[in-house]
Structure 1
Amino acid sequence: RIPSEIAQAMLAGFLLAYCTEPMLVLASEPWLAGPVIVVWLLALWLAPRWAIPAAFVASCVVIALNFNTEAVEGISILPHLEFVMPSIDGAAIVNIALPLYLVTMASQNLPGLAILKAYHYKLPWKRSMVTTGFMSSIIAPLGGLTINLAAISAALSAGSESGVEHLKRWRSAMWSGYTYITIGLFCSAVVVIISAAPSEVFGTLAGLALVGTFAGSVAGAWKNPAEHSRMPAAVTFIIAASGVTIFGIGAAIWSIAGGLIVRGIILARKQAQEDKAETHAEHQ
């Protein structure tokens, strides 16, 4: 029931912070962001499909040259399994489970749905929620986090930058899942690398990867010139980009609420004016 322009404006505002990160890092740490951005630009000119993989390789080189060995001293890179007895605690349900549920719905499922709508995919919403909820209940006793329509993963997989046909981009999501499994098997080594690597490099790479999705969502948010579309989209974008959290509820929910309220006001005013004009014409 959320208008497309509001959903896409929310997505654009949600992604803005990621997409501005490369320039912020370039200004503060040019030797970290500069090589990655230059390689991305060159690849964008020579082989657009490989722009992000090329930027990833450049990021790995930058990380290798700035690796902080002191940050990982004493950390084992070999993963191991450790059994922890699951337990149910009322305080944990109130303080952890319920907030995590709200955060998952507001910052992952809702933006994830907006991303899929932005790329013209028809998502079976109810079945998706039932499936992800059921799987989450299965992995919860094993220490797993919630399964959801991960917003950033969806943005990377569903975009045209993947170079895959529209109806075959589900394969990108599958490869994303395989990559997560692989990373999970080598989680200790990954933690060591991330701990010793400059965090700015990861922010730069993520921002570059999401530029295409951001551009598409901005175009979709303001494609309708009507006042009841553009003004609500602007309000939605501003609130989402602010990143505000009120009463523990994130900006994604507040942005959509703000956009819908403004849209309702504009449509109500328009309807009142039309009714007034119609009544005046009848009297004449």
Structure 2
Amino acid sequence: MGRIQPVLAGVVTALVGFASSFTVVLAGLRAAGADAGQAASGLLALCVASGLAAAWLGLRYRLPMSVAWSTPGAALLVATGPVPGGWPAAVGAFLVSGLLIVAAGLVPPLGRAVAAIPKPVAGAMLAGVLLPLCTAPVRALVEVPWLAGPVVVAWLVLHRFARPWAVPGALVVAVAAIASTSTGAGLDGVGLRPVFEFTPPAWNVPVLIGLALPLFLVTMAAQNVPGMAVLVGYGYRPPFTAALRATGVAGLLAAPAGGHAVNLAAITAALAAGPDAHPDPDRRWIASVTAGAGLALLGLGAGVATALVAVAPPVLIEAVAGLALIGALATALTSAVSEPDGREAAVVTFVVTASGVTLLGVGGAFWGLVAGCLMLLLFRRRRPAPEPASEPAPEPAAESELAPERSVGSERAAESKPDAGPSARPPVSTRY
């Protein structure tokens, strides 16, 4: 059982990761202008590129570094909608976003600059991006209650008793509902075979500012940094810059075929990095490599997944996607309002981003980020100078009280990995 345990954990990671959010990816690609064939190609490219990156990182560093597509990035595509220049311009934005991720791995100050974005503003921007999709279950209950009702009930029950399977279970119920009511109309032009469709990129400055830059920021802030924090929380010291280079290159390879972004997994990372994957931290990398292989194989069903979306009521597919993002929205909102001094700026960021406005061809996510940062600068309070101490300072605590705990996995990784990444102290603070 000890040998098969990480393999089974990897299979579960791939299944949960794919089934939980492929509807978000397809909704985002279609919103950006892709037709059914191009959306299926994009999903296939993301699966294969993510699988290859996970296999490379796991075999190279012997660490459980799971890789996935950018689910918040796909939600950003839904929120942004069609862009000037159509699908080719969106593909150009995907390429530029991938280049920025590679650059963050080659130029550490760029990664530190992204991490320096105030947490309330970053969380509020992500929350504003996710909000439109997260309201879809409510709209579906009103528009197609006989289909959406069982889906929401299944999600609630599984969320209570088997949380990792809540969204996959809701998807199974949705498929059953669609199969029982669909006549097959809408399948014209949808191929079931896995096919790459390459699109020559087009370059449009407003799209690069309004889509490529927010896509890079959302992917870094909501996927790469939290994904690294999960690994640090389990006692590993992974090479962050190497991970950025690997996932950025994978994103560049996937972009011409329609893939929007590849990054470290955040939501499913714990499935491969935690003790359930294997009691020995040195063996858990097998789970992430298996998950990568499984995700690449699941990509062969991209045509079938796209066909399912084609015959379903759009609001029902968006409802499943919205259910998958409820947890991410809760985390983003918590991050946005966690600091009292930044709450007003966070609210401004959230409102502007969620409004979906387009100004000068640039979408709301960029303007929300700008508005929030300006709000912070305008109302930044100066801290009063500290008063001289009138009492002697307390004696320092004993060494045993100050020294952080060091896990076996952390010591093992620190000794064997010269290209170490962030410090293993707090999970939310990663060094570049």
Is TM (by shorter chain) over 0.5?
yes
What is the aligned partner in structure 1 of residue 162 from structure 2?
47
Distance of 2:384 and 2:372 partners within structure 1 = 23
Q: Is the 8 Å Cα contact of residues 156 and 210 (structure 1) preserved in structure 2?
A: no
Residue aligning to 1:110: 217
* 2:345 aligned partner, one-letter code: P
Given that residues 352 and 367 in structure 2 are in contact (C-alpha distance below 8 angstroms), is that contact kept between their aligned partners in structure 1?
yes
Q: Distance in 2 between matches of 1:149 and 1:9?
A: 22
Paired residue for 1:280? none
* Percent identity over paired residues: 30
User: Does the aligned pair in 2 maintain the 1:9–1:218 contact within 8 Å?
Assistant: yes
| CA gap 1:154/1:201 in 2 versus in 1, 3 angstroms | farther
Q: Using the alignment, how far apart are the partners of 1:27 and 1:4 within structure 2? A: 35
2:423 maps to which residue? none
Kindly indicate whether the alpha-carbon contact (under 8 Å) linking 2:210 and 2:366 is maintained by their aligned counterparts in 1. no
Partner residue, 1:214: 329
Structure 1 stretch 8-17 or stretch 121-130: which is displaced more? 121-130
1:81-120 pair list within 5 angstroms: 93-95=202-204, 99=207, 103-107=211-215, 109-116=216-223, 117=225
Cα contact 1:232–1:262 (8 A) shared by 2:
yes
Q: Is the CA contact 2:226–2:266 (under 8 Å) kept in the aligned structure 1? A: no
CA distance in 1 between partners of 2:286 and 2:336 (Å): 27
Partner AA of 2:221 in structure 1? A
Point out the structure with the larger helix share: 1
Once the 2 structures are TM-superposed, how far is the Cα of residue 148 of structure 1 from its aligned partner? 2.5
Does 2:182 align with 1:67? yes
Q: Report the alpha carbon displacement of residue 45 of structure 1 after superposing the two structures with TM.
A: 2.6
Cα separation, 2, equivalents of 1:239 and 1:124: 36
1:134–1:78 distance in 2 versus 1, CA, 3 Å: closer
2:351 alignment counterpart: 238
2 CA distance for matches of 1:256 and 1:196? 37
Report how far residue 244 of structure 1 moved.
Answer: 2.1
- The residue type paired with residue 240 of structure 1 is T
Partner Cα distance (1:184, 1:36) in 2:
24
Structure 1's 188 and 257: CA in aligned 2 closer, same or farther, altered over 3 A?
A: same
32-41 or 67-76, which moves further after superposition?
67-76
Task: Tell me the distance in 2 between the aligned counterparts of 1:176 and 1:29.
Answer: 35
What SS does structure 2 have at the residue aligned with 1:2? coil
Q: How many residue pairs align between the two structures?
A: 256
Distance (Å, rounded) in 2 between the aligned partners of 1:11 and 1:172: 29
Contact 2:128 2:351 in 1 (8 A): yes
- 2:305 corresponds to 1:157: no
Aligned CA RMSD, in angstroms, stands at 3.9
Counterpart code for 1:94: W
Determine the C-alpha separation between the residues in 2 that align with 1:260 and 1:74: 45
Map 1:11-30 → 2, pairs under 5 A: 11-30=126-145
Unaligned 5+ segments in structure 1 are 276-284
The reply to whether residue 31 of structure 1 matches residue 142 of structure 2 is: no
Secondary structure at the residue paired with 1:77?
coil
Distance 1:132 1:211, change over 3 A: same
Measured in 1, the distance between the counterparts of 2:139 and 2:287 equals 29
Shift of residue 211, structure 1, vs aligned partner: 1.0
Q: Which residue of 2 aligns with 1:255?
A: 368
Contact 1:36 1:59 in 2 (8 A): yes
Mapped partners of 2:214, 2:378: distance in 1: 24
Structure 1 residue 119, shift from structure 2 partner: 6.9
Tell me by how many angstroms 1:36 deviates.
0.5
Alpha-carbon deviation of 1:50?
A: 2.5
Partners of 1:40 and 1:54 within 8 A in 2: yes
| Contact 1:66/1:198 (8 A) holds in 2 | no
Alpha-carbon offset, residue 149 of structure 1: 4.5
> What SS does structure 2 have at the residue aligned with 1:249?
coil
In 2, the alpha carbon distance for the partners of 1:20 and 1:70 equals 27
Q: CA contact under 8 A between 2:190 and 2:306: conserved in structure 1?
A: no
Alignment correspondent of 2:63: none
